[in-house]
Structure 1
Amino acid sequence: MLLLTRDLLRFRSRKGKIYPQFLDPDDASLQRAAEALVEVFRQASAAGSTRQELTEETSLQLQSQQLDNPIGRGLEKLLLDRSEFDTGDPAEQQRFRESIFIQARQALREEAKALNPNLKEFWKRVEILQSQPVAQIQEALYADLPVQQRLLQFSPIGAETLLHRYNCGQVQGLLLNSEALELRLEHPDPGPLRQLCKYLRFHQLLAQITTDEQGIFQLRIDGPLSLFYKTQKYGLQLANFFPAILQQKNWQLRATVCFRQKPPLQLQLDPSCGIRSHYQQFHDYVPPEFQQISDRLKERQPEWQLELAGSFVPLPGDRYCFPDFVLQHQTGASVALELFHGWHAGPLRQRLQQLEEVQGVPLLLGVSNSLSKNPELGVALETSSYFKTFGFSFRELPTVDKLTKVLQSWWAATQQ
């Protein structure tokens, strides 16, 4: 995952605002330095170098390029994230070591009986017992240590692209420490806007979506520091959503960034930051487990079909939601399905309030059991007439039984 850790972030703060320190991707000297680093990784991959050997070569290259330490280590971190090392099988490695030690003990006992025992004879004995050259045995003994892991594969990247990824990583690292993210989109094109919402859904993020008469969309997404449940995982999902924002045309981002024992800082960005997104056109991906649910539903209820959502569901007060799935009936009628996971406490609370204010919204709710354990949310779910009729709980994934039940309730309500 191409993210920069806290110690690799470069920023300045002034008057309550935070300013990431970006690199210039068009700078020729930076491009040469980046290309030289990439070449070190290419050669190390071809040679099957160990992590220690790669680190030594990288350090020499950074010194020769005279890169500032945080910049050089940041670029190195991004390239390491594109590398695959041989970690081996820990259990197999343990068994191998034990066998060597047992055979070594036996060899030592036999050598001790000799008049002139020596290390060379000992290793010859081990070599015979293992049927391997001594050099291979010595190398394999601790091959599972990180410094001894060999580079198996490296995914090359262009110098300019690497510099853009570095700038993107600076913002993503700040978003890992954010309380909230607000996004303003001026007159977004329908296609890119749907793409953005698909990325929201893919990363299991929920946003409060509003619009006004001027066609300006506002999206508000809770940050990881506003949660008390799986904050690290959620923070990574929010950070990985940022490149999708870069694909929009007229956008403004605001986020509240908080570092430990320091006052909050405001991050503000727009297209003038010049960061280029590395995301491609989003292709709908249905996880195998949801495909299984779709197949089972088709067997149980052949008149219904489960599909990925592709449009908004209007809500009261010029608000919208972008659901996870749509259930399509053979008559042409359809109802959306929105899933709330353990880190969606705030959005769930708001959604329940919205749905109590209006009738006839084509929306079903699936709520993770972990949310119902929250005392406040537990009461809200129990007292919600909407959820009692059109909602269900799930452990990890919705079940066909519960989905069928709420579908029947919704269908009966539409026929009245």
Structure 2
Amino acid sequence: MLTRDLLVYRRVKGVRLRPTFIDPDDDDHIATAGALIELLTHGAGEPRGAIDEAADAICGEARKVKVARGLYKLLTDRCEWDDPGDTAMALRAAAFARSAAVLRDLSEESSLSDYLAAVAAGLPRPLADVRAHLYDDLAEHRRLLSAKLPTPAALLARYNLALAQGLVLYAGSLDLRAPSPGPLELRKLLRWLRFSRLVADVRRDGDGWHLRIEGPAAQLDMQKKYGLQLATFLGAVPVLGKFTVEADIDLPRQPRARLYLDHKDPLKALDDGPLGHIPPEIELGMASLGDARWTLDPMPELRHVGAAGMCVPDFALRDAATGKSVAVELFHRWHRHALLRRLDELAARPDPHFLVGVDLSLAKDEALAARLAAAPQVFTFNKFPTWKRLQPLLEPIGSLL
């Protein structure tokens, strides 16, 4: 994503934020993107300092330097650089210790060549080799190993999305309205919502849907992580044919402003695949769920909760004998308010085919822990639920199916 110094936006009447999107068909932008991609394509094995210097020259010649630097930032996010580990640090320690020892014992008549010869005699590698690799752990000396580079057109589209995501990083909540979305569009969007570890208040809005995603009114570190999750989710919103997005943005040392986005903006979804992106750690966790009786359904339907609410289960487990499902919704560390609302809804209207998973960090609150202990359909987990934790809860539910 783009850092704050690379964001380009404007304020409309002081209270409305709009990213300054670029034209992806602009010849100058296409040329700049192509030059930066070519630089990294042929940069394998080169130190980052040399690549950065060449990129600075390309960006300096661009019509819009800040845009060019943003493009380069997005490209370097897709690069893998070598990691020297502790080798350079150990080499420096050995070289400096040997140098200090030689200086202590060196006579006044000794020359520079005498000093260097004495130092070299106690080093684990030849002196020239030590000099060449003494600071390999500094960023500018790390060498490019590989890069997953897009086409110029894809990079420019990614830049426009990154402008919007960079602002959403500073949002505490987000309102999304989708008038009459297609079933596949909605399922893909809700799948991204869950895999971004977000909980939304989902309501019907005429023929469409309204999703309000609220953040934690808690510590700053949680707000930062939540902003990152919101920004990740925004990358899926353009799968909708029509949408509007609004969010209050609190940029550092600036007054609050309202961000407005819609389907007319040049935004393209991060993943156009049929099922959308699945984070590797979640895919691994899901692969361990299920047995001969229960099979995993990674894309369950929306589920009614309470009097008028809807929820987006993270997954469901389907009984092979009856074909009926048990929905599972997970609440992470920043979901305290959403969890309390869900517990109230289930207390008012119990759902025997619904399980609620709660991150262990939330259960540290004594009052909340007592309430969780009194709810038979609630379980706790660390990072992701295990089958060992879920199976005992499914047995009594299975007898009711």
2:17 paired with 1:11: no
Q: Is the 8 A contact 2:83 2:142 kept in 1?
A: yes
Shift, 1:347, TM fit: 1.6
Q: Which residue of 1 aligns with 2:295?
A: 305
Q: Which residue of 2 aligns with 1:288?
A: 284
- Of 382, 391, 400 in structure 2, the residue corresponding to residue 404 of structure 1 is 391
2:115 paired with 1:118: no
Map 1:250-261 → 2, pairs under 5 A: 250-261=242-253
Provide the C-alpha distance between the structure 2 equivalents of 1:49 and 1:79, rounded to a whole number of angstroms.
16
1:94 corresponds to which letter in structure 2?
A: M
- Give the SS at the match of 1:280: coil
- Give the SS at the match of 2:361: helix
Of the structure 1 ranges 57-66 and 141-150, higher mean CA displacement relative to structure 2 is found in: 57-66
2:95 paired with 1:100: yes
Of the structure 1 ranges 122-131 and 192-201, higher mean CA displacement relative to structure 2 is found in: 122-131
Decide whether aligned partners of structure 1 residues 377 and 335 sit closer, same or farther in structure 2, where only a CA change above 3 A counts.
same
Q: Which residue of 1 aligns with 2:325?
A: 334
Decide whether aligned partners of structure 1 residues 264 and 361 sit closer, same or farther in structure 2, where only a CA change above 3 A counts.
farther
Q: Which residue of 2 aligns with 1:38?
A: 37
- Give the SS at the match of 2:172: strand
Q: Deviations over 1:308-341 (max 9, x none)?
A: 2432222244432121121222322321111111
- Give the SS at the match of 2:5: helix
Uncovered stretches (5+) of structure 2, i.e. residues with no partner:
none
Shift, 1:178, TM fit: 0.6
1:258 corresponds to which letter in structure 2?
A: D
Shift, 1:82, TM fit: 1.7
Q: Is the 8 A contact 1:256 1:267 kept in 2?
A: yes
More helix by share: 1
Uncovered stretches (5+) of structure 1, i.e. residues with no partner:
none
Map 1:58-69 → 2, pairs under 5 A: 58-68=55-65
Q: Which residue of 1 aligns with 2:204?
A: 211
Q: Which residue of 2 aligns with 1:166?
A: 159
Q: Deviations over 1:188-220 (max 9, x none)?
A: 1111211111111111111111114x4211111
1:280 corresponds to which letter in structure 2?
A: D
Q: Which residue of 2 aligns with 1:394?
A: 381
| Identity of matched residues, % | 31
Shift, 1:268, TM fit: 1.1
- Give the SS at the match of 1:208: strand
Q: Is the 8 A contact 2:215 2:335 kept in 1?
A: no
Q: TM-score, normalised by structure 1?
A: 0.85
Q: Is the 8 A contact 1:175 1:223 kept in 2?
A: no
Q: Which residue of 2 aligns with 1:315?
A: 305
2:47 paired with 1:50: yes
Shift, 1:152, TM fit: 2.0
Shift, 1:135, TM fit: 3.5
2:53 corresponds to which letter in structure 1?
A: E
Provide the C-alpha distance between the structure 1 equivalents of 2:387 and 2:155, rounded to a whole number of angstroms.
45
Map 1:242-253 → 2, pairs under 5 A: 242-253=234-245
Shift, 1:379, TM fit: 5.9
Decide whether aligned partners of structure 1 residues 192 and 350 sit closer, same or farther in structure 2, where only a CA change above 3 A counts.
same
2:36 corresponds to which letter in structure 1?
A: L
Q: Is the 8 A contact 1:390 1:409 kept in 2?
A: no
Shift, 1:177, TM fit: 0.5
Map 1:226-241 → 2, pairs under 5 A: 226-228=217-219, 230-241=222-233
Provide the C-alpha distance between the structure 2 equivalents of 1:123 and 1:151, rounded to a whole number of angstroms.
32
- Give the SS at the match of 1:367: strand
1:407 corresponds to which letter in structure 2?
A: L
Shift, 1:276, TM fit: 2.2
Root-mean-square deviation (CA, aligned residues, Å) is: 2.7
1:61 corresponds to which letter in structure 2?
A: I
Aligned residues: 394
Provide the C-alpha distance between the structure 1 equivalents of 2:115 and 2:51, rounded to a whole number of angstroms.
33
Q: Which residue of 1 aligns with 2:256?
A: 264
Provide the C-alpha distance between the structure 1 equivalents of 2:123 and 2:254, rounded to a whole number of angstroms.
58
Decide whether aligned partners of structure 1 residues 31 and 396 sit closer, same or farther in structure 2, where only a CA change above 3 A counts.
closer
